[in-house]
A and B are shown apart, each in its own frame.
Chain A
Amino acid sequence: MPVFNFYHWSKEHGYTLTESGPLVSVEISIPTALKAHLSEKGLSIPAPQSGFALIDTGAFATAVDQTIFDALGVPPIDKIPTKTPHGDGESPVYPATVTFPGLDVREMAMERVIGCNLKWQNVEGKEIIMLLGRDLLQYFLLVYNGKSADIFLAY
């Protein structure tokens, strides 16, 4: 089982785990079936979109910023109802392929990812594009070590 430690520390900003939450680098790309279709047609394949995923044990479903799907040219495949303190709404659902370069987890197929407005930058300028929910976390061992500002992940 490959294990990885991610220290949330930088010379300029010190410890950032409390400020930013647990982050891992992530790449979002188009689904494999769409990639095969574009290749067959001789069309160009959009480059993967890179950023950081915030590990969110409070969320069941993984969510990705809407602009990522717009950039990849992936249309939604469904809409699901959403419940918020501000009222009921709807969010689009997309298929995606997810890679975690730092974990050596490559091209993980995700059939249903929520698209929403969540992009932001932490104090170090790292751009968060994904909330990594329990639908993905079920495959990981996660240790949050607040004392030493690092997280331990095994896949």
Chain B
Amino acid sequence: MPLEVELGVFTRMKPELLASYEGKFVLIHGEEFVGAFDTAENAYAAGVGRFGQEPFLVKKVTVQEEVYRNQALSLGLIHARI
């Protein structure tokens, strides 16, 4: 499962990441915490520069994680016909 290791590292490190980097985007590759960046774009560019097309995690450090809700999509109403 891609990013499973990286997400595990993020979860373990979250308390210290919140203390130091809240609001920033962190870059994690495998077990390695690479760094924190002001924007997701900068974190991604750094990740591609170091790891190319290998999977790496770019995640915003926030207390409450964003949740994706799309009512039309989740209810299957996008192309419903009545």
Residues of A within 8 A of B (CB): 19, 21, 31, 33-34, 36-37, 41, 54, 56, 58-61, 63, 73, 75-86, 91, 95, 109, 111-112, 114, 116, 118, 120, 122, 128, 131, 133
24 contacts between A and B (CB under 8 A): A31-B48, A33-B41, A33-B44, A33-B48, A56-B72, A59-B73, A60-B70, A63-B73, A75-B54, A77-B57, A78-B58, A80-B68, A82-B68, A83-B68, A84-B75, A85-B75, A95-B58, A111-B39, A111-B41, A111-B44, A120-B78, A122-B79, A128-B78, A131-B78
Interface size bucket, B side? 20 to 34
When chains A and B are docked, how far (Å) is the Cα of A81 from the Cα of B66?
Answer: 7
- A60's contact among B7, B59, B69, by CB below 8 Å, is which? B69
When chains A and B are docked, how far (Å) is the Cα of A111 from the Cα of B41?
Answer: 6
- B78's contact among A54, A61, A73, A95, by CB below 8 Å, is which? A54
- B68's contact among A77, A91, A118, A122, by CB below 8 Å, is which? A91
Residues of B34-70 whose CB lies within 8 A of A: 39-41, 44-45, 47-49, 52-59, 65-70
- B58's contact among A77, A82, A133, by CB below 8 Å, is which? A77
When chains A and B are docked, how far (Å) is the Cα of A82 from the Cα of B65?
Answer: 11
When chains A and B are docked, how far (Å) is the Cα of A57 from the Cα of B9?
Answer: 35
- B49's contact among A37, A59, A82, A133, by CB below 8 Å, is which? A37
